[in-house]
């Protein structure tokens, strides 16, 4: 099992290319199930989750081919991939595939919309809370689906071969359920109105792709989305947005270590709240022609309180990284997690590096320290793994992060990108 060894103490200086967003690429790939034409996606990151979803889609009959790479970019970074679901050969998504990645459960929407039936295993993914699928199922039922749960599988059917448009109010904001209902309603008969829908940029990216395929969607990016169902969708060519979580992560790494880095291709509008919080903490952030420039002078970091919220609030997927940053801030910060109930598993590992963190319910109280010391630590989930790398970049001595298969699910060539900016980061095999 691979691990990553980090030798702390070096500033980051240079340029880091921001990859396509994993959280946008996955639903876009799943949308290929909605048409028998080819969906071409540009800027798809090379990640373990993407490769796993390719295998899952292949199980349903989706062919794929990879061509080209971004101009002036090294081989292995984000790619252009063609997905063609000419014929759906199987409407079952088995446990052995779905259990490895939660987002693969989302195939239930397109399969049900196009084929009138689906049998999908209940999902897996990071162990950061229960994250039930109730909202997905309630929403599909509102569109006329008959659902049963048997032996760990959701068995879904339409009454007359097609879903029917309806009004559905999400009892709580859910990005995943919004993705699924967007795709399902695109082929439903009549109009669907989704209220209290997620507003994340990845939702907008999916809606824009579906519209390019012939869907009729308005309001994406607001809390009310209207979908006028169509009889069929065609192929399209669409670009995955840059990864706002990767952008925020590297911005925090620069704030942690000091230095001056341009995040190439990053878009500030995708994470204004997080960048504002970083500025409050002492980083200098400016927009440049080809991305975002992040700098920190020698004045140190200031403690800042933050609470995670749905977009446009502070992202839950940056909470662990920000906690890593706050471990060396001047003063006390309070970090409150409102999205997931079990997303503080990185606290114990940060403490191994010398961080002073106490928990009070869903709030972590971080008392900044003047130094961290390297130690062996273990990644517990995707975002926690990179928070330990960030802390290790500033810690004295060496930090070894084990179980980095979590990290490979969401960060494309992280050690190479950091290494090119002066960090001493090495992957250890075995």
Which residues fall in the annotated binding site for phosphoenolpyruvate? 22-23
Answer yes or no: are the C-beta atoms of 108 and 140 closer than 8 Å.
yes
Residue (of 198, 158, 128, 168) closest to 410 by Cα position: 128
Question: Which tokens go with 195?
Answer: 């209220």
CA dihedral 241, 242, 245, 246 (to 10 degrees): 150
Provide DSSP, 353-407: TT-EEEEETTEEEEE--S--B--EEE--SHHHHHHHHHHHHHSBSEEEEE-THHH
d(CA 427, CA 415): 7
Q: Is 209 a catalytic residue?
A: no
d(CA 151, CA 226): 35
Options 4, 31, 57, 126, the catalytic residue: 126
Residue (of 333, 325, 268) closest to 294 by Cα position: 268
| Bond preceding residue 377 cis, omega within 30 of 0 | no
d(CA 218, CA 227): 7
Please state, in angstroms and as integers, the Cα–Cα distance from residue 11 to each residue in 7, 168, 422, following that order.
Answer: 11, 50, 7
Bind-site residues: 22-23, 102, 131-135, 172-175, 317, 339
Angle, helix 201-212 to helix 22-30, in steps of 10 degrees = 30
Angle, helix 108-115 to helix 134-142, in steps of 10 degrees = 20
d(CA 265, CA 260): 16
Helices (H), 312-359: 319-326, 346-352
CA dihedral 46, 380, 131, 22 (to 10 degrees): -10
Would strands 398-402 and 376-378 be described as parallel, antiparallel, or unpaired?
A: parallel
Neighbours of 244 (CB within 10 A): 28
Neighbours of 274 (CB within 10 A): 27
d(CA 146, CA 188): 14
Residue with tokens 């195939």: 107
Bind-site residues for UDP-N-acetyl-alpha-D-glucosamine: 102, 131-135, 172-175, 317, 339
d(CA 142, CA 417): 45
Answer yes or no: are the C-beta atoms of 93 and 121 closer than 8 Å.
yes
Which residues are tagged catalytic? 126
């Amino acid at each position: 099992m691979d691990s990553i060894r980090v030798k702390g103490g070096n500033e980051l200086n240079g340029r880091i290319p921001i990859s396509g967003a994993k959280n946008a690429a996955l639903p876009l790939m799943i949308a290929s199930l909605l048409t028998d034409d080819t969906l071409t996606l540009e800027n798809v990151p090379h990640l373990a989750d993407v490769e796993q979803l390719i295998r899952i889609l292949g199980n349903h009959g989706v062919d794929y081919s990879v061509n080209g790479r971004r101009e002036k970019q090294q081989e292995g970074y984000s790619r252009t991939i063609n997905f063609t679901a000419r014929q759906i050969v199987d409407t079952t998504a088995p446990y052995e595939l779905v259990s490895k990645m939660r987002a693969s459960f989302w195939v239930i929407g397109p399969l049900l919309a196009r084929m009138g039936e689906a049998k999908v295993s209940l999902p897996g993914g990071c162990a950061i809370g229960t994250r039930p699928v109730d909202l997905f199922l309630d929403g599909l039922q509102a569109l006329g689906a008959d659902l049963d749960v048997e032996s760990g599988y959701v068995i879904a059917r339409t009454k007359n071969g097609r879903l029917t448009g309806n009004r559905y109010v999400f009892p709580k904001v859910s990005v995943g359920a919004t993705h699924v209902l967007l795709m399902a309603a695109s082929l439903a008969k009549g109009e669907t109105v989704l209220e209290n829908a997620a507003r994340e940029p990845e939702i907008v990216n999916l809606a824009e792709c579906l519209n390019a395929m012939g869907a009729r969607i308005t309001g994406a990016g607001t809390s009310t989305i209207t979908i006028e169902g169509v009889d069929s969708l065609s192929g399209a060519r669409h670009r995955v947005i840059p990864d706002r979580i990767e952008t925020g992560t590297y911005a925090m790494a620069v704030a942690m270590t000091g230095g001056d880095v341009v995040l190439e291709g990053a878009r500030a509008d995708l994470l204004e709240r997080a960048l504002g919080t970083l500025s409050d903490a002492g980083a200098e952030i400016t927009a440049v022609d080809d991305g975002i420039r992040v700098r920190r002078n020698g004045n140190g970091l200031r403690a800042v309180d933050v609470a995670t919220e749905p977009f446009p609030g502070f992202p839950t997927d940056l909470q662990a990284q920000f906690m890593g940053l706050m471990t060396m801030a001047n003063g006390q910060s309070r970090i409150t997690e409102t999205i997931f109930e079990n997303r503080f598993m990185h606290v114990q590992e940060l403490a191994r590096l010398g961080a002073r963190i106490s928990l009070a319910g869903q709030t972590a109280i971080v008392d900044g320290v003047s130094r961290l010391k390297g130690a062996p630590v273990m990644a517990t989930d995707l975002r926690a793994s990179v928070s330990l790398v960030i802390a290790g970049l500033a810690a004295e001595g060496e930090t070894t992060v084990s179980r980095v298969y979590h990290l490979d699910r969401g960060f494309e060539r992280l050690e190479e990108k950091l290494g090119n900016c002066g960090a001493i980061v090495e992957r250890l095999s075995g």
